[in-house]
Structure 1
Amino acid sequence: MSGTADYCGILLAAGRSQRFGADKLMHPLASGLSMAPMACISAATLQRVLPKTIAVVRPDQHSLIKQLAAQGIQTVTLAQTNGGMGLSIAAGIAAANDAQGWLIALADMPFIQPATITRVLAALKNGSPIAAPVYQGMRGHPVGFSASFGTALRALHGNAAGAHDILHRHAAAIELIACNDQGVLTDIDTPRDLLTNPFLRA
């Protein structure tokens, strides 16, 4: 069985937050006893399980790049910033081309429990081609891919749905991991999401 160091976390953080009206990835959320940008919380959670974690960012995200670097997170800057999520995935996979597998996470989903990430990683290490958490019957994030999908992931481009087509074509290969972690479905797209988010209610 391969060690954790052979696997890489890929954090997709190059979105433009158009529905949020501001850079949502820099929006501060509670993290322990302090506040931290949303994307940095997502990165730290992924990094707790996968010490090698890479964040895919835009070149104009100077503050985010600086803060991620302070956390020890490697960043990959997209040369083309309008290529959709597929291009971000391809860039992240290419930057960790020699990994045995990858866990792809979204920077606007900061409430996923580390234990859930650990279970997805364990499924890959135990031979699952693809693994993903399920909460109340709905598949969530992060999604893990074995190295056998490297070529397909690196070939993604201009696809707002990211790896959806790969998941659809290989649905029978996905190990679904039931969990009691609502965070796997909880993203933040609009300011209203901050008001209705169950993790942020008083």
Structure 2
Amino acid sequence: MRAAIILAAGRSQRFGAANKLLARYRGKPLLQWAIEHALRAPVGRALLVVGADHRRLTSIAAHFPAHRITTVVARTPNESRRKSLLYGLRALRRHERECFVFLGDLPDLPGGVATRLAVRARRGAAAVRARHRGTPGHPVLIGDTATTRKRLEAGDKPFEQDEMVSIECGRAIIADIDRPCDLRAVPVRA
């Protein structure tokens, strides 16, 4: 079984005082876009890892079917991406042996990206990552959640370079929202 982890526990320092995941982009909060992308992936459920502002972020998740989304609150607000991922991996159920990792601030992911990664993962890669012209992006499909969790708990990298396969997926997989001006940028679809 496969799950999705949405990383939404960051500080958004470049965005200013506001929580960027609550900012509206094309009529919806950024976080809503991330949840929709994760739930369209070939997964049973999504885990939303939140830190500071978890009550307001959780209220967005409440608009989705409860059996499809689980909120995981990081004990220390504003965790690093690695620690947030570890919170998500620890919250997986025993039968969830693979998982996608989505970022909360990538609203324009092209449809089918997660499915493309899943198809490539069948060939035995430990992880499959979306990329654009050599730049790593998201989502990432982790093929062995237990091993990845153990490595992160030990303070190691989640994957060695030779264990990861990258697939060209277009510019949108790296077009995250970092500053308020990014919300006004023309959406990138390719």
**Shorter-chain TM-score: what band?**
0.7 to 0.9
Q: 2:101 aligns to what?
A: 104
TM-score (norm 1): 0.80
Structure 1 residues 109-139: Cα deviation after superposition (integer angstroms, max 9, x where no partner): 1111231111112222442211011222322
1:199 paired with 2:178, answer no
Match for residue 174 of structure 1? 164
Indicate the residue corresponding to 2:143 in structure 1: 146
Q: Distance in 1 between matches of 2:11 and 2:29?
A: 15
Report the residue type matching 2:91 in the other structure.
A
Structure 1: 5+ residue stretches without partners: 1-5
- Residues paired across the two proteins, number: 181
> SS where residue 13 of structure 2 aligns?
coil
**Match 1:19 to one of 14, 22, 27:** 14
Partner of 1:64: 57
The answer to whether the 8 Å contact 1:46/1:114 transfers is no
Give the root-mean-square deviation of aligned CA atoms: 2.1
8 A Cα contact 2:51 2:74, kept in partner: yes
* Equivalent residue, structure 2, for 1:116: 113
Of 180, 185, 190, the residue aligned with 2:179 is 190
**Alignment pair present for 1:91 and 2:80:** no
Question: Out of 67, 70, 76, which is 2:72 matched to?
Answer: 76
Supply the distance in 1 between the matched residues of 2:173 and 2:165 (Cα, whole angstroms): 15
> In 2 relative to 1, CA 187–15 (structure 1 residues): closer, same or farther, beyond 3 Å?
same
Q: 1: distance between equivalents of 2:151 and 2:77?
A: 16
Structure 1 distance, partners of 2:7, 2:36, is 13
- TM-score, length basis structure 2: 0.85
In structure 1, distance between residues paired with 2:178 and 2:116: 26
